[in-house]
């Protein structure tokens, strides 16, 4: 029940920040709020992965700095790609075929680049995790995302559980 309450809190923050960020005249959350929200979400994900992977204290200390570094690299890549997309989408004047081509290329390439980043960290993670934990990592990440999405769907449907 405590876990569900925490998920609800995180998603409530997400929904409230998302709606706040979309108010007329307000394009984005305040940087301090966004940073705090990401910090809380990161801690919840750490707790979730610790439980799912049954990480020891020593494993947590060696794994999570690497994991956070990897996620930060992926986030920066995604942000760069979104920035290109937004720049092209929000251009008032005429957009050349070359600009469209470069933007679409960046959007199509992102998954491969994300995979490259993850594979760069794979050998580093192997030093911190057991083979079984390495196997379970991707499953736990999907489970984490699925739980957040289900909770978000329940909240949007008005079923605040």
Q: Where are the domains of the chain?
A: 1-55+138-161, 56-128
What digits encode the pLDDT tens for the residues 96-141? 999 999 999 999 999 999 999 999 999 999 999 999 999 999 999 9
- Would you say 63 and 129 are in contact if contact means Cβ atoms under 8 Å apart? yes
Name the token pair of 13: 């923050």
φ, ψ of residue 158 in degrees (nearest 5) = 85, 15
What digits encode the pLDDT tens for the residues 19-74? 444 444 444 568 788 889 889 999 999 999 999 999 999 999 999 999 999 999 99
The Cα–Cα gap between 133 and 131 comes to 5
The Cα–Cα gap between 46 and 62 comes to 12
Look up the pTM and report it.
0.74
Name the token pair of 34: 């966004």
- Would you say 75 and 35 are in contact if contact means Cβ atoms under 8 Å apart? no
What digits encode the pLDDT tens for the residues 69-90? 999 999 999 999 999 999 999 9
Mean pLDDT of 144-152: 91
């Amino acid at each position: 029940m405590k876990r569900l309450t925490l998920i609800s809190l995180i998603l409530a923050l997400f929904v409230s920040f998302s709606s706040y960020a979309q108010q007329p005249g307000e394009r984005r959350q305040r940087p301090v709020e966004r940073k705090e929200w990401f910090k809380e979400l990161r801690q919840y994900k750490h707790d979730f992965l610790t439980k799912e992977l049954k990480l020891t204290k020593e494993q947590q200390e060696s794994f999570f700095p690497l994991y956070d570094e990897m996620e930060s690299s992926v986030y920066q890549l995604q942000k760069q790609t979104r920035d290109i997309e937004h720049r092209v989408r929000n251009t008032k004047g005429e957009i050349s075929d070359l600009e469209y081509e470069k933007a679409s290329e960046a959007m199509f390439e992102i998954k491969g680049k994300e995979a490259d980043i993850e594979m760069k960290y794979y050998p580093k993670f192997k030093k911190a995790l057991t083979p079984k934990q390495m196997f379970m990592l991707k499953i736990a990440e999907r489970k984490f995302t699925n739980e957040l999405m289900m909770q978000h769907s329940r909240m949007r449907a008005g079923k605040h559980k």
